[in-house]
Amino acid sequence: MKAFADWNQNGNFDDAGETIATSSVLPNSDQFSTTVTIPGNVQNGQTIRLRIVATETDNPANVVACGTYGNGETQDYTLTIIQTLNDVGATALISPDANFCGLTTSDLAITVRLHNYGSVDQTNVPVTVKITDTNNTDVTTLTGTLPKLSAFRDGILTLNKPASTSLLAGQTYRFTISTSLNSDQNTTNNSIIETRTTGNTPTNGIFTATRCGSDTLVSLRNTGEGTAFWYDTPIGGNLLAAGNQTFAQRVPSAGQFYVALNDFSGTIGPATKSVFGGGTYYGAYTPAPLISTTVPLLIESARLYIGDAGQITFTVTKYDNTTISSVTLDVTPTRDQSLTATTSNGNLLDDPNDPGAIYPLNLRIPAAGDYKITISYSGGASIFRSNSGVTGVPYQLKAQNAQPIVTLKGALFNNGTSTDTLTTSWYYFYNLKVRSLDCPNPQRTPVSISTGTYPTASISPSGSASICQGASLTLQTTNVTGLTYQWYRNGQLISGATSSIFQASTTGNYTVRVANTCLPVSSSAITVAVNTPQTPTVTANGITLTSNAVSTIQWLVDGVPISGATSPSYTAIKSGRYAVQGNVNGCGVATSSEVVISILATEPTSAEEGLSVYPNPATKEMTISWTVATLPQLPSFQLTDLQGRILRRATLQKDGKSYSAVVDVSDLPDGTFFVVVEDDRTQSVQVKRIRKH
């Protein structure tokens, strides 16, 4: 028997996918049933022609939609496509992800995605997650309800596995996710099964607790696996310090410390948006929340308030925009969709009854440092932020030694012209859950206190601390077995600079922190200056040019090298644009700006003196007097500077046997100038050099 459906309604059953069922050879008393999947391109309301053909044959190829047969039967039906009203199914296990941590001292968030395939909004959808091991032994069963799931939409539900139910490290577990809507018209999509394998726990911590000299602080170190968290009791108690190189302010009353690896979790920031005064939803907010951590960290989840459905991507980056980790969320509205009022700039007004939803983030931060979390949108998504009555920033999780482990500092906002840290608005994340990045080993190890001696820290440079661009200076501190090193520039940690030698190639103040089992000791700073090739300067004194270049000197006139002109000084012999190439600071050759020299005429000797200018030097006024035979026209004079620029121009007046003029020079700068007297044919006939004081 075969069944055929004319999905594309072209009048035949010959197209691909239109043979929808084929049975095996059936005895007379047998029945045949199967499930048919409706193609995605078939629309609700369409009527599809359905044909069933049964013939007496043992060869399926003999059963065709149109043809002849000896014995058999053909039946035709019309199939009307309708949308189910009530149809909810499980679609994905969002969290935990691969290599998740099963042995934790906090609840494990298990997040699932459901989809409403029906045309009716659903409320209080029952959900069950059953966890079994590889032997099919039940570990635990979690139940919950999704409050609302709109028609044709996705929904996310988070259930919490209690910390008391352990999932062993390095084991594979099966998660069976099921929905059980009473009115469900299609139960075939109710359940899915996904597997996850738990990560391994660290076991090789190497711990020391040392009191050095008369210091009341206790140095705490771990030189083995994982990140150490230091407590005052073997179970429970107080977290005294966090990190592999840290300190405690006192010795616990038990006389020793108890340390666990990667055993840290907490909740930070406002629990809900109702903590503040109000806010709005929008699909184009850009401020980036700032987070600092002193340990490798996993941002597990947060409560988000969603205005419109779509996709939102959160990306953890360094301040230099280096991407660290990212997650894209399919978000669905948590606010009342009947509320449509907006602000003047299009922001949806706050829904005070919006419960929000917990979304798994699983953003990994593998190293201590300062980071920002950027946001981007697609598909029309919008999200809530609080901008009224926001207080309490920064939020911090601290150890008992008062050192912060995690800090939320506000949000970084760039308005196009400046960057600011916003602390009077709160962006995106509420009830933010974090934990140590790698899987914990909650078994605490006792650590006794020993005594020690501080190391010394000093820096020896390999040469002058003033270097040229492209070169480097070797900085070295004492290399002793058992010491650890960390180099800093301008007080900021240099990533990866953890040996006793560092090559400095950037301007800055360099220090090194040296540690043994005691607390680190910092050296004095070495200031390194990085020089670029310095541009030579040229000073003109009349026609004598002097440069500050000290080597590789070459004078140029009009851009052409002057043969043999390789000394710091040069005397110009013709008018032109003069410059010098040379090395000023030992970091390379550069070319100076040009100086224009105008040589207008030869100064007359005293024997042929006809032009006099006095006083010389001049301060306020000077007199120009030219003794010459009577001219047919009054002569003129020009006062020029060394670059040939005309500063004064006037006509000399007849004064007995001379032509003269009094010139005001009080506004001129100090320096050398030339007086040029011309005859009626505009030819330079006399030049006199003067000084202005």
Same domain, 421 and 399: yes
608 pLDDT band, cuts 50/70/90, is very low
For residue 561, being part of any structural domain is answered with yes
Structural domain count of the chain? 7
Q: Give the residue among 302, 529, 533, 342 at the shortest CA–CA distance from 429.
A: 302
Task: Give the pLDDT band of residue 605 (cuts 50, 70, 90).
Answer: very low
Residue 212 lies in domain: 207-262+442-449
429 and 577, same domain (yes or no): no
**Same domain as 384, residue 276:** yes
Q: Tell which residue, 177, 111, 178, 127, has the closest CA to residue 331.
A: 111
Per DSSP bridges, beta strands 154-161 and 684-692 are: unpaired
Q: What angle do CA 37, 39, 45 make, to 5 degrees?
A: 100
pLDDT score for 107: 76
Statement to judge: residues 346 and 413 lie in one domain: yes
DSSP code, position 588: -
Mean pLDDT of 229-247: 94
CA dihedral of 564, 567, 569, 572, whole degrees rounded to 10: 10
pLDDT at 604 over 60: no
pLDDT tens for residues 351-384?
A: 999 999 999 999 999 999 999 999 999 999 999 9
pLDDT of residue 684 exceeding 50, the answer is no
Q: Which residues pair with 676 in a beta bridge?
A: 638, 687
In angstroms, rounded to a whole number, what is the distance separating the alpha carbons of residues 266 and 397?
Answer: 8
Q: Does pLDDT of 166 surpass 90?
A: no
Residue 682 included in any domain? yes
Residue 67 covered by a domain:
yes
List the one residue out of 92, 176, 86 whose CA is nearest residue 122: 86
Whether residue 214 is predicted with pLDDT greater than 90 in this model: the reply is no
Q: Whole-angstrom distance between the N-terminal and C-terminal Cα of the chain? A: 119
pLDDT digits (tens, 9 = 90+) for 273-322: 999 999 999 999 999 999 999 999 999 999 999 999 999 999 999 999 99
| CA 495 to chain CA centroid, nearest Å | 16
Burial class (CB in 10 A: 0-12, 13-18, 19+), 269: buried
Q: Vertex 632, ends 627 and 637: CA angle to 5°?
A: 55
Both tokens of 615, joined, read 């006083």
Largest CA distance in the chain: 150
Q: Is 273 helix (H, G, I), strand (E, B) or coil?
A: helix
Q: Computed from CA positions of residues 229, 233, 234, 238, in that sequence, does the dihedral angle turn out positive or negative? A: negative
CA distance 20 to 426: 56
On the question of pLDDT at 606 being above 50, the answer is no
Helix (H) or strand (E) holding 325: strand 323-331
pLDDT one-digit tens code per residue, 504-521: 999 999 999 999 999 899
- Mean pLDDT for 640-654 is 81
Using 50, 70 and 90 to split pLDDT, how confident is the model at 163?
Answer: confident
**What string of H, E and C letters represents the secondary structure of 85-138?**
CCCEEEEEEEECCCCECCCCCCCEEEEEEEEECCCCCEEEEEEEEEEECCCCCE
Cβ atoms 264, 274 nearer than 8 A = no
The structure tokens 């010459």 sit at 628
- DSSP class of residue 294 equals S
Of 597, 628, 645, which residue sits at a domain end?
597
Cα separation, 306 vs 617, whole angstroms: 83
Q: How far apart are CA 639 and CA 672, in angstroms?
A: 11
297 and 329 in a single domain? The answer is yes
Q: Which two tokens stand for residue 98?
A: 């691969």
Q: Partners of 374 in the beta sheet? A: 315
Is residue 611 predicted with pLDDT exceeding 70? yes
One domain for residues 275 and 355 = yes
CB 151 within 8 A of CB 118: yes
281 in the same domain as 422: yes
Q: What secondary structure does DSSP assign to 472-516, as a single string?
A: -EEEE----TT-EEEEEETTEE-TT--SSEEEE-SSEEEEEEEES
- 527-574 per-position pLDDT tens digit: 999 999 999 999 988 778 999 999 999 999 999 998 888 999 887 878
Q: Which alpha helices (H) appear in 191-256, and where do they start and end?
A: none
- Distance between CA atoms of residues 89 and 179, nearest Å: 6
Residue 129 inside a domain? The answer is yes
Residues 576 and 651 in one domain: no
**179 and 73 inside one domain:** no
pLDDT, position 601: 55
By the 8 A CB rule, do 440 and 104 touch? yes
Q: Same domain, yes or no, for 158 and 216? A: no
Is residue 632 classed exposed, middle or buried when 0-12, 13-18 and 19+ CB atoms within 10 A define those classes? exposed
| CB-CB neighbours of 406 under 10 Å | 24
Query: Which of 158, 157, 171, 159 shows the shortest CA–CA distance to 103?
Result: 171
**544 lies in the same domain as 422:** no
Is 603 a residue whose pLDDT tops 70? no
408 DSSP β-pair partners = 291, 395
Domain for residue 466, yes or no?
A: yes
Q: What are phi and psi of 275, to 5 degrees?
A: -60, -30
Domain holding 638: CATH number? Answer: 2.60.40.1930
What's the CATH number where 472 sits?
2.60.40.10
d(CA 620, CA 693): 9
Neighbours of 199 (CB within 10 A): 16
Residue 631 has pLDDT above 90, yes or no: no
Per-residue model confidence (pLDDT) at position 99: 83
- R_g of the chain, CA atoms, integer Å: 44
Residues 220 and 151 in one domain: no
- 202 lies in a domain? no
Amino acid 281 reads Y
Residues counted in the chain: 693
Give, in order, the Cα–Cα distances in Å from 263 to each of 169, 206, 285.
Answer: 14, 16, 35
526-540, 605-619, 639-653: lowest mean pLDDT where? 605-619
pLDDT tens digit string along 104-137? 666 788 999 999 999 999 999 999 999 999 999 9
| 394 class by beta-carbon count within 10 Å (0-12 exposed, 13-18 middle, 19+ buried) | middle
Pick the range with the lowest mean pLDDT from 340-344, 613-617, 663-667, 686-690.
686-690
Q: What is the mean pLDDT of the chain?
A: 91
The predicted model gives 561-590 an average pLDDT of 90
Nearest to 501 by CA among 517, 487, 519: 487
552-557: long-range contacts, CB 8 A cutoff, minimum separation 24: 552/581, 552/582, 552/583, 552/589, 553/580, 553/581, 553/582, 554/580, 554/581, 554/582, 555/579, 555/580, 556/580, 556/581, 556/591
Are the C-beta atoms of residues 560 and 576 closer than 8 Å to each other?
no
Mark which of 550, 575, 597 sits at the end of a domain.
597
In a domain, 550, yes or no: yes
Closest CA to 224 of 246, 241, 202, 209: 202
Residue 116 CB neighbours (<10 A): 24
Domain assignment present for 506: yes
Element (H, E) at 413: strand 404-414
Percentage of residues in the chain with pLDDT exceeding 70? 97
* pLDDT at residue 270 is higher than 90: yes
Neighbours of 16 (CB within 10 A): 7
Mean pLDDT along residues 617-626? 92
- Let me know: does 164 contact 117? Beta carbons within 8 Å: no
pLDDT-based confidence at residue 247 (cuts at 50, 70, 90): very high
The confidence score (pLDDT) of residue 680 equals 58
Domain boundary among 506, 531, 556: 531
